[in-house]
């Protein structure tokens, strides 16, 4: 290997392929478009000729949808209002994660020489979940939905009162804490998915580079990446499930927080209503006397 060549190069930033004016088109955007195209094709196949007794392809498409719908249906009584979002997030992240395991993704591209004179490979396709812009975009969508859901259930006043907390005289302290807690959900959703997928990409790239260099000495080293590919297949599904379930949990918390306030208020007014109810004395009837 030449002195200016790099055995492994994994950029934390998505590489730019071309630009049209102010729009920069990166390889992670290609991955996101491919994942969207795969989901659209599967949806077209599913709705084109649905069968009452599903075949293998229809059963394969229905399984993750019905599985996630069963999970979401046990959250709250209003689960139909956000089940489509949770299933959509799960399927999009799942396909985007598994797309990075296909041959050629991250390994086929153009050679590029940086300012230091080191030759790097700029792949045509990169897993979308390994780009912080993609995960942050999904986290922003989920954040807007569960904040809007909280306002829808509790109203603007109820949502702000929930941020202020109890007791009210602690509002100068509790409001910043609750506000930071709300924003931290956005950060945790995006960074957790990005960090895990990017770490998996680095691990696979490292193992492929090492085994490619050692395959002529140790022929069995060729099968080592298969173990990590299987693990990444599992981790990709787990990360998609975690992201979708966290989004569902935040929406559920927004609904339960409002219900808790209403229940607390009902408990506070209950005894006073009972005490305000006059007790009527029963006079003896004339027949008894």
278 within some domain: no
Q: In total, how many domains does the chain have?
A: 1
238 within some domain: yes
Which tokens is 226 given? 């298969």
User: Which stretch of DSSP H or E encloses residue 122?
Assistant: strand 119-123
pLDDT band at 92 (very low <50, low <70, confident <90, very high): very high
Whole-structure pTM value:
0.78
Q: What is the mean pLDDT of residues 158-162?
A: 80
Structure confidence at residue 281 (pLDDT):
44
280 within some domain: no
Tens of pLDDT, residues 119-152:
777 788 888 888 888 999 999 999 999 888 888 8
Which tokens is 218 given? 């140790």
Structure confidence at residue 9 (pLDDT):
62
Helix/strand/coil for 218: coil
- What number of residues does the chain have? 289
Q: What is the mean pLDDT of residues 87-105?
A: 89
**Nearest to 95, CA basis, from 228, 186, 197:** 197
61 within some domain: yes
Residue 148's contacts (CB-CB under 8 Å, 6 or more residues apart) are none
Domain containing 206: what range? Answer: 2-270
Site of tokens 């229809």? 58
Structure confidence at residue 215 (pLDDT):
59
227 within some domain: yes
284 within some domain: no
Q: Which of 104-118, 140-154, 156-170 has the highest mean pLDDT?
A: 140-154
Q: What is the mean pLDDT of residues 246-256?
A: 84
């Amino acid at each position: 290997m030449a002195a200016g060549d790099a055995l492994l190069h994994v950029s934390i930033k998505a590489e730019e392929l071309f630009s049209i004016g102010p729009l920069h088109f990166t390889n992670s955007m290609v991955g996101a478009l491919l994942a969207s195209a795969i989901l659209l094709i599967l949806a077209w196949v599913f709705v084109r000729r649905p069968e009452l007794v599903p075949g293998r392809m229809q059963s394969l498409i229905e399984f993750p949808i019905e599985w996630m719908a069963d999970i979401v249906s046990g959250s709250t009584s209003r689960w139909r209002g956000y089940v489509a979002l949770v299933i959509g997030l799960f399927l999009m992240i799942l396909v985007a994660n598994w797309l990075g395991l296909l041959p050629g993704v991250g390994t086929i591209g153009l050679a590029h020489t940086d300012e230091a004179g080191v030759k790097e490979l700029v792949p045509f396709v990169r897993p979308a979940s390994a780009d912080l812009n993609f995960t942050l975009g999904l986290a922003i969508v989920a954040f807007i939905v569960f904040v809007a859901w909280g306002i829808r259930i509790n109203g603007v006043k109820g949502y702000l009162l929930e941020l202020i907390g109890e007791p009210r005289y602690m509002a100068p302290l509790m409001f910043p804490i609750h506000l930071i807690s709300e924003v931290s959900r956005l950060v945790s959703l995006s960074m957790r998915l990005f960090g895990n997928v990017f770490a998996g990409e680095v691990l696979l790239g490292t193992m492929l580079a090492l085994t490619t260099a050692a395959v002529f000495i140790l022929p069995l080293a060729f099968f080592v990446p298969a173990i990590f590919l299987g693990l990444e297949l599992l981790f990709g599904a787990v990360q998609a499930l975690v992201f979708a379930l966290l989004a569902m949990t935040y929406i559920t918390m927004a609904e339960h927080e409002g219900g808790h306030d209403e229940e607390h208020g009902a408990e506070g007014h209950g005894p006073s209503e009972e005490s305000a109810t006059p007790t009527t004395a029963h006079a003896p009837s004339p027949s008894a006397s």
